[in-house]
Amino acid sequence: MPLYHHLKNALMQHMQEGTWAPGELIPSEPELARQYQVSRTTVRQAVGDLVSAGYLVRQQGKGTFVARRSPTMAASPLYGFAEELRQRGHEVSVRVLDIRMVPCPEAVSEALGLTKEQPTPVIHVSRTAHADDVCMFHETSYLLPPLDLSPEELSHKRDLFNNIYGFFEQNGVVIGLGRQSVRANLASKDDAHLLGIHEGDPVLVVHRVTQDVTGTPVEWSQVCYPSHLYEYQINLHR
């Protein structure tokens, strides 16, 4: 095993055992190099991996801190839902069912950090994704408009919503990160109609809030998958 892996495991152990608490400043690179009798290059590689995985956070001019992590949080590459299917080798066609500007629903406003006192218009997008003529999911999204788009302009931008992250990026919004949850549910009548299943069949529902690189929420989405087409796999290590 490479030396930096041994060091990374040792640093992880400090966090798991509570020797380093969330928010605590960890020793500097020179201090770690002396403590573990390794080169600073080895320390930099081990710490860099833990920063990339979200366990540590670097603050310019202050040092490296233990991240304040939710017990349910894990780091993973961020793809759009259709983009994720394409990454798995599926030929995906997206059908946009509806695009319109609407007042932001109250529950969505809270997730996007919007104030109730100043109702904010958002772009409502409803779409389905199909592979081999099978509906893979139905998605409902609410987007903060990156520009002052009128309803008439939205009607001419339907193709852009085949790739929502692409839509943001073409309008100058750089996507940074997202947080999502997965839960089980039973298909409603609308779910059954769109997904080609029976009402009451099991479905998996994913909720996601996407943020730009400044940490500002820009999209709330709900995606419904037929449970027999979706497998959630996690690699675990000890």
pTM of the model: 0.62
Between CA 77 and CA 87 the distance in angstroms is 11
User: 88 burial class (0-12, 13-18, 19+ CB within 10 angstroms)?
Assistant: exposed
Which pLDDT score, from 0 to 100, does residue 73 have?
A: 41
Per-residue pLDDT at 224: 94
Residue 192: predicted pLDDT = 92
Query: What is the per-residue pLDDT for 71?
Result: 42
Query: 28: Cβ–Cβ under 8 A, 6 or more apart, which residues?
Result: 63
Task: Provide the sign of the torsion angle of the four alpha carbons 173, 174, 180, 186, taken in this order.
Answer: positive
Domain annotation for the chain: domains and CATH numbers = 3-66 (1.10.10.10), 81-229 (3.40.1410.10)
Residue 154 is predicted with a pLDDT of: 66
In the prediction, which pLDDT does 151 show? 60
Q: Is the dihedral of CA 81, 237, 38, 62 positive or negative?
A: positive
Phi/psi at 162 (5° precision): -65, -25
CA distances 115 to 11, 160, 208, 209, 222, Å, are: 41, 28, 20, 17, 21
Q: What angle do CA 28, 214, 45 make, to 5 degrees?
A: 30
Determine the pLDDT at residue 146: 72
The residues facing 182 across adjacent strands are 206
pLDDT tens, residue order, the chain (238 aa): 567 778 888 898 888 888 898 889 999 999 999 999 999 999 998 888 888 767 888 887 788 998 875 444 444 556 676 767 666 666 778 888 888 888 988 889 888 888 766 667 889 999 998 887 888 889 999 998 876 566 666 666 666 677 788 788 877 788 888 888 888 999 999 999 999 999 999 999 999 999 887 778 889 999 998 888 777 767 676 6
Q: Which residues, in sequence order, are CB contacts of 50 under 8 Å at separation 6+?
A: 8, 11, 12, 56
* For the chain, the helix, strand and coil percentages under 3-state DSSP, each to the nearest 5: 30, 30, 35
The pLDDT, as a whole number, for residue 78 is 64
